[in-house]
Amino acid sequence: MLPRAYTEFKFVVDGHWVVNDTVRKEDDGHGIVNNVILPEDFLGEQPEIRPVNHRLDRILARIHDNSVREAFKLHKIPDLWLPMSRQTVQKLILGKVSREIFLAAQNDLLDIRVAVWEGNTVANPQDLGHSAIDDDEEMIVEHRVLGEGAFGTVEEISIVSGARESRCVRKRVA
């Protein structure tokens, strides 16, 4: 939320109150210096920040339908959405052929991640990221619930592939 009025702030670093020297600072009249932010600091045209989408761009390059790329651009979908569920892809990509190409390319990226876990290949870190693995897969071992909220559960799990085990966090959306 943006500030609606003059707002003073500081940060706690290693148990000590500090200010950020790269932004506005003011003395409060009692010898205490704070950072200050004003509502007008947020007025005016803000540059559009577009995330780098290495994986998504590679997937979309396989689809020769500009309407698909435009749909992703319109909805501002970044790499973080990957992997996308079949239901989401069906709503976003209307053409059956384009939809199947997208899902196959997305699965190729998942296959790369599994091969990295198994130690069978080395991958560019940009190829890795979120993964979607069905709950019925034999490779998932549930350890404990880390938290529950209105939209789902966060759990600590292991993914076992071959002789390797990777501990990670899974978010289950209700």
Pair (118, 82) in one structural domain: yes
Rounded Cα–Cα distance for residues 138 and 140 (Å): 6
Phi, psi angle pair for 72, to nearest 5°? -65, -40
Is the same domain home to 106 and 141? Answer: no
pLDDT 10s digits, 34-63: 888 877 776 655 555 555 567 788 888 889
Same domain, 22 and 61: no
- Looking at the structure of the chain, the number of domains it has is 3
Q: Is the pLDDT of residue 33 over 70?
A: yes
Same domain, 75 and 110: yes
Determine the Cα–Cα distance for residues 106 and 18; give it in Å rounded to an integer. Answer: 45
Distance between CA atoms of 162 and 119, rounded to whole angstroms? Answer: 9
52 Cβ partners below 8 Å, 6+ apart? 79
Does 122 share its domain with 62? yes
Looking at the structure, tell me whether residues 59 and 95 fall in a common domain.
Answer: yes
Which tokens is 108 given?
Answer: 């190729």
83-121 pLDDT per residue, tens: 788 888 888 898 999 999 998 888 777 666 555 555 655
pLDDT for the residue 116 = 54
- Tell whether 108 and 153 lie within a shared domain: no
User: What is the share, in percent, of the chain residues with pLDDT greater than 90?
Assistant: 6
* Cα pseudo-dihedral 78, 129, 47, 58, rounded to 10: -60
pLDDT of 99: 92
pLDDT at position 38, please? 77
2 within domain boundaries: no
> Which among 11, 37, 97 is positioned nearest to 89, based on CA atoms?
97
Give the structural domain span for 27: 7-42
Pair (98, 55) in one structural domain: yes
Strand arrangement of the beta sheet that strand 140-149 belongs to: 140-149, 152-161, 164-173
Residue type, 115: A
* Residue 1 within any structural domain of the chain: no
Question: Based on the domain organization, do 67 and 126 belong to the same domain?
Answer: yes
The mean pLDDT of 115-135, rounded to a whole number, is 54
